[in-house]
Amino acid sequence: MGSDAVDDHLENQGRRRFLTATTAVVGAVGVGFVAVPFIKSWNPSAKAKLAGAPVTADISALAEGQRLVFEWRGQPIWIVKRTKQILDLLPSLDPRLRDPKSANADQQPDYVLKGDYHFRSIKPQISVLVGICTHLGCAPEMVAEIKPEPFDPDWKGGYFCPCHKSRYDMSGRVFDGVPAPFNLLVPPHHYADDNTIVIGVDPGAAKTGAA
């Protein structure tokens, strides 16, 4: 099989994994982390999706250690409520990461780095990520339990892509020495209120009424 054919085959595998991730709940992973039903508070038309219409996410029922999966622009959006233990461990991972301070501005809006850069979020406990591996577009698995894993004996929780073994921490920051070149993306988003996240609209745009 030629190299182009291999690349096409791997990409097709990634797309199939991606479609699975966007239409089903990711299974329960780790102690204290459970899956909740796939939720879309607002289901825009196909035309609206193509135009990148925002999606409203109700997180009022999101408990600590849970993840919600939404869809925006055909991409799975993960909203995770992280535990205090996870937040406390994130700074210790910096030496193992390719871009611990998220210096590449194309990977997240600047406002998610204005607090503690380890969190990559507007609110420390709530993480919002695009759930697509930055290597070949596969769907990483959330492996949130803090315990030794076959792929990492010093695992502190995070995301593992089984396609080519790329790893990310619970802020979506990529480990050094794996195939994935970049951190997981953080989509534009803002809080309409304490229990509502609007995916696809920056805070500044929301204040001016722009979508």
| Nearest-5° Cα angle at 124, 17 to 189 | 60
What is the pTM for the complete model shown?
0.76
- Cα 196 to Cα 211: distance, rounded to the nearest angstrom: 16
Mean pLDDT for 106-114 is 95
95 class by beta-carbon count within 10 Å (0-12 exposed, 13-18 middle, 19+ buried): exposed
For residue 44, name the pLDDT band (cuts at 50, 70, 90).
low
DSSP assignment letter at 108: S
Q: What per-residue confidence (pLDDT) applies to 208?
A: 60
- Cα 73 to Cα 86: distance, rounded to the nearest angstrom: 29
pLDDT at 177 over 70: yes
- Cα 38 to Cα 36: distance, rounded to the nearest angstrom: 7
More confident residue, 41 or 203: 203
Q: What per-residue confidence (pLDDT) applies to 36?
A: 41
Task: Express each pLDDT in 55-97 by its tens digit.
Answer: 999 999 999 989 999 999 999 999 999 999 999 999 999 999 9
Q: Which residues partner with 173 through β-bridges?
A: none
Q: What per-residue confidence (pLDDT) applies to 128?
A: 98
CATH 2.102.10.10 fits 3-208, yes or no: yes
Q: What per-residue confidence (pLDDT) applies to 26?
A: 37
- Could you state, in order of their start, the residue ranges of all structural domains in the chain? 3-208
For residue 5, name the pLDDT band (cuts at 50, 70, 90).
very low
Task: Express each pLDDT in 130-140 by its tens digit.
Answer: 999 999 888 99
HSE, side-chain direction, 13 A CA sphere, residue 187: 27
- Cα 160 to Cα 139: distance, rounded to the nearest angstrom: 9
Q: What per-residue confidence (pLDDT) applies to 81?
A: 96
pLDDT at 120 over 50: yes
